[in-house]
Structure 1
Amino acid sequence: MSAGGSIRRVDERLGLAICRVSLSGRTLVTYARDHVTVRTPSRPDFRDGNTIDLLAPPPQEALADWVGRFRDTIGMLGVPDAHLRWETPLPIDAPPGRPVPDAALASAAHRLGLSLQPLTVLLLDDLQAPPPAPATIAPVPPPSAVDPQPTDRRWHAATVLYRYDAEDVGDPDAWRQWDEQFVAWSVDVQRELAAGGRAQVWVAQRHGAPVARATLAHDRQGLAAVEDVIVHPVHRRLGLAAAITHAAVAAHLHLDPGARVGLAAEPGGRAERIYRRLGFVPHATVWTARPR
């Protein structure tokens, strides 16, 4: 119990922790009484790697002070825009949908040139097997200095799928706008995590070609997160996202049966509905205050 005598949730602020699971040693994470500072000096453009995570929703009158603190600390690294996050709890039976932000906070953010963007964090309750999918799903070992060529080709194939990281790709040339340099840096970080035993990349193949990918990262302390579930637009709505997510989670639970597994999804989107069918339930809304 807390000092005031109220019952404290054991999984309090787990939503923000899920969002930080895949951070590597390139990112500095420091903990204070009322916030967590996340800084990536080598990549000021890494938005989720340069943020202040508040341990409670801020009072509207304090939002400007937090923006000022961001600029005086993380902003000194060359990060151009303030990025603040906090979470609010969701009941496990909350229906899918986009939540409404606190009106006072939304108004305060608007005056500062910010908007409040929600992300739904779900936690695994009871893993459910999806219907069979028409693909071969297997993990990709991290590239090895001993025999790098076969793995490197598979790793590259998984990387190329980042071009289609969108729920709905209406423009066949939209992938040309992806930030190839940043993706290469992100994949290099992921390679470090995989080589260190903190991440596993999975790929689904159809007709010999990679058509879907997913990553499961963990913190070695019992917390894991599924990220970067991407399916090629031509092969969507075949159950591949559910199948590859299930395979990654099942494999991790086989190694660590007591692990807490979570993931984040756009509120009310198709991905959230897929994850709910796999046995994930709502845990929290992570709100991000960032420039409009």
Structure 2
Amino acid sequence: MDVRSLAWRTDVALRAYAGGEVEDRGDHLIVRTPANPTFYWGNFLLLAAPPSTASVEHWLAVFEDAFPEAQHRTFGVDGCRGTLDDLGGFRAAGLGVEVSTVLTTHALAAAPPSVDGAVVRPLSDDRDWEQQVELSMSDPDLAGGREFATRRARAERGLVEDGHGLWWGAFVDDVLAASLGVFVASTGLARYQGVQTHPAYRRRGLCTALVHAAGRHALAELGARRLLIVADPDDDAVRVYRRAGFRDGETQLQAARLPRG
């Protein structure tokens, strides 16, 4: 399967770099993350085209065959210009559907002034990565608890140690207040990952500082010629990315049924 979407192409590449498995079935990919089976978007199907309403039950059965122990159902749909209408079959079957905005740039806008009291640098030692887990735990929407957050941080650190990029943090009084990763996911293309800010430190410009620092490093040191980030079109963060020089390009389609609680 030739993945057209830059967002899904980089997602799949990063899952593989982190030790995941990608099985090509022609009209879909099965992406598995054996080290973290409760990672919803590390264990999913990527479909080559939007499913019809009549075919959704078939795809649910394919998912259940691929992930017999899973309590979730997660699907990506390849393509560059999709809309919620393309996910109508999944929505009719009771899955939540989402269209994200894919933004790219070849050059960042001028960097903003530094944030008073914040130190922006890559994560480096065990203490930094322990704080990465704690930062994840501050997210009220985190599913999977500490075990999931620990496994995810281990995979993120592995990407860094394997030389694919860096995970950046904004530290306030030596506390990790915000973080994100940037990794080269294909030749010349660097992908941002996992943008998060502790609720107590939001609206201080930390995300903006991280986006600029990580992007400048990727363009200057990682061989990237283009930067890519994916965002909820209704989230405040998308405005941060546009001010940093990113422009809307593709859309990314996904559908999910997640465990309750």
TM-score by length of structure 1 reads: 0.77
Secondary structure in structure 2 of the residue aligned to 1:64? helix
Distance in 2 between residues matched to 1:42 and 1:155, nearest whole Å: 18
Query: How many residues were matched structurally?
Result: 254
Residue 187 of structure 1 and its aligned partner are, at CA, apart by 0.8
Aligned in 2, Cα 1:208/1:65: closer, same or farther, shift over 3 Å? Answer: closer
Secondary structure in structure 1 of the residue aligned to 2:107? coil
Distance in 1 between residues matched to 2:158 and 2:223, nearest whole Å: 24
* Native 8 Å contact 1:18 1:262 kept in 2: no
The alignment-based identity, stated in percent, is 28
Aligned in 2, Cα 1:243/1:21: closer, same or farther, shift over 3 Å? Answer: farther
Q: 2:187 corresponds to which letter in structure 1? A: Q
* Native 8 Å contact 2:107 2:226 kept in 1: no
Distance in 2 between residues matched to 1:234 and 1:16, nearest whole Å: 32
Cross-structure match for 1:51: 44
Residue 64 of structure 1 and its aligned partner are, at CA, apart by 2.5
Cross-structure match for 2:163: 197
* Native 8 Å contact 1:21 1:218 kept in 2: no
Q: RMSD across aligned C-alpha pairs, in angstroms?
A: 2.7
Secondary structure in structure 2 of the residue aligned to 1:213? strand
Which structure's CA Rg is the greater one? Answer: 1
Cross-structure match for 1:124: 105
Whether 1:251 aligns to 2:217 is yes
* Native 8 Å contact 2:184 2:224 kept in 1: no
Residue 247 of structure 1 and its aligned partner are, at CA, apart by 0.3
Cross-structure match for 2:74: 83
Structure 2, gaps ≥5 residues long? none
Q: 1:101 corresponds to which letter in structure 2? A: L
| Paired residues for 1:62-141 under 5 Å | 62-72=55-65, 74-76=66-68, 78-90=69-81, 101-102=84-85, 105-106=87-88, 108-132=89-113, 133-134=115-116, 135-141=118-124
Structure 1 runs of 4+ aligned residues shifted over 6 Å read 175-178
TM-score by length of structure 2 reads: 0.85
Distance in 1 between residues matched to 2:143 and 2:51, nearest whole Å: 35
Distance in 2 between residues matched to 1:176 and 1:121, nearest whole Å: 22
Residue 41 of structure 1 and its aligned partner are, at CA, apart by 3.1
Aligned in 2, Cα 1:234/1:243: closer, same or farther, shift over 3 Å? Answer: same
Cross-structure match for 1:19: 11
Structure 1, gaps ≥5 residues long? 1-9, 91-98, 142-150, 166-173
Aligned in 2, Cα 1:191/1:269: closer, same or farther, shift over 3 Å? Answer: same
Cross-structure match for 2:33: 40
Secondary structure in structure 1 of the residue aligned to 2:10? helix
* Native 8 Å contact 1:15 1:87 kept in 2: no
